[in-house]
Structure 1
Amino acid sequence: MFDIDQVSSGQAIINVASVPQRSPFRYPGGKTWLIPTVRQWLKQENKITRELIEPFAGGGIVSLTAAFEKLAEQITMVEMDEEIAAVWEVILNEKNQWLADKIYTYDLTHANVKAELENPNKALQDVAFCTILKNRVFHGGILAKGSGMIKNGENGKGITSRWYPKTLRDRILAINFVKDKIKFIPGDAFEVLEQNIENKNAYFFIDPPYTVAGKRLYTYFDIDHERLFALTAQLQGKFMLTYDDTPEIRQLADKYRLQYRTIPMKTTLHFEKNEIIVSDNFEWWVEGKGR
């Protein structure tokens, strides 16, 4: 996993600190760095997008940005992972305040975290809290099996390194202002895509588990990538599909006659790599944004 910090955009480097942080998740593989490009894509028709569908919602930064910045009238978020889904279900319903308060008042110690995670009798809101807890105290925010608690952390702060209770509370409560625009489906991305193949009014932001890092980062990493390309090629709405830049992904794009561009990005360790953006058209693409 890479802790993404910056993305190349034209002649400038856009620091993700300049992008409003809306999500309560510290999400591995998150797309905060891509937000300037997503805005460009959503604005291609010079009008507010009627509907945005995000079938692999994850940390939800694209959906939240679209909601807060009025880039879409209606947003559908879909997530299969039960833990992540629990967070969105709680945040988008009446337990929003409960979760925000629980995080803000929680006494974060190793003993308390251990007891919380080992409690076998969890209601939905408890699952949501434990998910946020793990996301913030586990290495890299990784929720998949095999991940464990931070030991040293930043400046020796250990498990408190990424625990910002006031910030998390404020982000969760802020979603109250836009949650009426958002529909959440705890389900299968493929089913939702199949149901919306003929939806010409929708924009689809599709960010699946990647072929290289997915196994290490996500519980539901094992997806049928070729089936996803085949479904994407049938969509009648507008779409943006993101992937790691590998020969296999390029071959799938070519096989289904899908246009793509590459976009470079930098990590906090200044590691440079390309990602691929597949889209139904690139009339919205500004030269210099990628290569």
Structure 2
Amino acid sequence: MGGQLSMFETKQKNAIQKVVNVASIPQRSPFRYPGGKTWLIPVVRQWLKQSKEHKKLIEPFAGGGIVSLTAAFENLADNIVMIELDHEVAAVWEVIINGDQNWLADKIFSFDLTPENANSILQKENKTKKEQAFSTILKNRIFHGGIITKGSGLIKNGENGKGIKSRWYPKTLRDRIKAIGHVKKNMKFITGDAFTELEKVKNDESVYSFIDPPYTVAGRRLYTHFELDHDALFALTAQLKGKFMLTYDDTDEIRQLAEKYNLDFRTIPMKTTHHIQKNEIIVSDNFDWWK
């Protein structure tokens, strides 16, 4: 009897059964990001609130940046560092976090979106940093699924036949970007490599590392920089002295890597953009905060 109870308790501990309604989470990012973590925000909040001590949050695969932005808006970390290697995505954060976010916000709001105007922006060579930032947001909003890698293309029909305007909400985007300007004083963005930046902080116990790499299955389709040494990332994560949360798709390969480096994990259900429910894996240094 005792053994059966133990098994039941373990199952309850290892999974949060409820799928999060993404519509209930504040949308902070200007990106439509494939693989975005808006659905994970309630869990991230629990993780960041496990200690009231001074903390620095580092997001080495920033992407759409929802975790860093939520932490900034909700005062969940004292210092926040976002890192991204992709030069197109990085240009957006360089302008918003390190530069003049108002320029980008106003440019989006005033832009007359037509296929001709969009193509003239996208096809321009030798863009400035600001021009690249605007081009990236434009591409992210008018390409299929927000995918900006080579091979993706313009939305043709879109919602209600609106075509490329289906996901172009200039006022909403302007407001989101300007809002970030009000909370970015404790934020910093680095165009760089995740491994390099994690190495720099691996001995700092005050650092919370939210690590969301390109996944083993979908990475090739969704991201420009999809090639990643997942074994090396697990090895580096295992060396971190601070708190960490590492997220992955639930595959045998990832479970084996967690076991190899003696890292504890939990599974959590989520719904894809196509409303397919699947499990993801969360690896962490401890699960005392897990509810």
Relative to the length of structure 1, the TM-score reads: 0.93
Say whether residues 1:83 and 2:83 are aligned partners.
Answer: no
Q: Which amino acid aligns with 1:77?
A: M
Whether contact under 8 Å (2:248, 2:281) holds in the other structure is: yes
Whether contact under 8 Å (2:31, 2:137) holds in the other structure is: yes
From 21, 25, 28, the equivalent of 1:19 is 25
3-state SS of paired residue (1:285): coil
3-state SS of paired residue (2:288): coil
Q: Which amino acid aligns with 2:241?
A: Q
Q: Specify the alignment match of 2:185 in structure 1.
A: 180
Distance 1:284 1:98 in 2: 40
From 42, 46, 49, the equivalent of 1:36 is 42
Distance 1:140 1:48 in 2: 39
Q: Specify the alignment match of 1:235 in structure 2.
A: 240
Larger radius of gyration: 2
Q: Specify the alignment match of 1:158 in structure 2.
A: 163
> What is the aligned-residue identity percentage?
70
Deviations 1:158-208 (A, max 9, x none): 000000000000000001111111011100000011111101100000000
Q: Specify the alignment match of 1:168 in structure 2.
A: 173
Deviation at 1:10, TM superposition (A): 4.9
Whether contact under 8 Å (1:42, 1:49) holds in the other structure is: no
Relative to the length of structure 2, the TM-score reads: 0.93
* 5+ residue gaps, structure 2: 1-14
Deviation at 1:93, TM superposition (A): 3.4
From 273, 282, 286, the equivalent of 2:287 is 282
Q: Runs ≥4 in structure 1, deviation > 6 angstroms?
A: none
Q: Summarize the Cα distance change of 1:61–1:267 in structure 2 as closer, same or farther, 3 Å threshold.
A: same
Whether contact under 8 Å (1:49, 1:203) holds in the other structure is: no
Distance 1:259 1:59 in 2: 26
Distance 1:113 1:263 in 2: 39
Distance 1:94 1:280 in 2: 35
Whether contact under 8 Å (1:207, 1:241) holds in the other structure is: yes
Distance 1:48 1:170 in 2: 32
Q: Which amino acid aligns with 1:44?
A: Q
Deviations 1:246-287 (A, max 9, x none): 00000000000000010011235431110000000011111x
Q: Summarize the Cα distance change of 1:268–1:84 in structure 2 as closer, same or farther, 3 Å threshold.
A: closer
What number of residue pairs does the alignment pair up? 277
Deviation at 1:50, TM superposition (A): 1.5
Q: Specify the alignment match of 1:289 in structure 2.
A: none
Distance 1:58 1:198 in 2: 25
Distance 2:278 2:257 in 1: 20
Distance 1:270 1:159 in 2: 23
3-state SS of paired residue (2:265): strand
From 196, 201, 207, the equivalent of 1:191 is 196
Q: Specify the alignment match of 1:273 in structure 2.
A: 278
Deviation at 1:121, TM superposition (A): 3.1
Deviations 1:66-93 (A, max 9, x none): 0000000000100000000000000123
Q: Which amino acid aligns with 1:37?
A: V
* 5+ residue gaps, structure 1: 1-8, 287-291
Distance 2:211 2:98 in 1: 25
Q: Specify the alignment match of 2:76 in structure 1.
A: 71
Q: Which amino acid aligns with 2:269?
A: P
Q: Structure 2 matches for 1:132-143, cutoff 5 A?
A: 132-143=137-148
3-state SS of paired residue (1:253): helix
Q: Specify the alignment match of 2:3 in structure 1.
A: none
Q: Structure 2 matches for 1:198-213, cutoff 5 A?
A: 198-213=203-218
Query: Which has a greater percent of strand?
Result: 1
Deviation at 1:94, TM superposition (A): 3.8
Distance 1:95 1:117 in 2: 21
Q: Summarize the Cα distance change of 1:147–1:258 in structure 2 as closer, same or farther, 3 Å threshold.
A: same
